[in-house]
């Protein structure tokens, strides 16, 4: 998958995680570690699975 698409999805998940932790009341103790794990996996996927766009000069 294109690296730009994966990065967009990862940044959206990161923002949603931050908002969720900010508004979570008593569930913050569960949401914080689980969400942090999901965000970390998303950014690892960007680095490992993301493919750079091909240079038009490459053939």
Q: What pTM, to 2 d.p., does this model score?
A: 0.77
What digits encode the pLDDT tens for the residues 5-58?
Answer: 999 999 999 999 999 998 988 888 889 999 999 999 999 999 998 887 776 655
d(CA 35, CA 16): 9
């Amino acid at each position: 998958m294109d690296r730009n698409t994966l990065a967009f999805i990862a940044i959206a998940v990161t923002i949603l995680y931050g908002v969720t932790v900010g508004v979570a009341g008593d569930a913050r103790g569960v949401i914080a570690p689980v969400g942090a794990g999901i965000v970390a996996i998303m950014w690892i996927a960007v680095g490992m699975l993301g493919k750079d766009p091909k240079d038009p000069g490459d053939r």
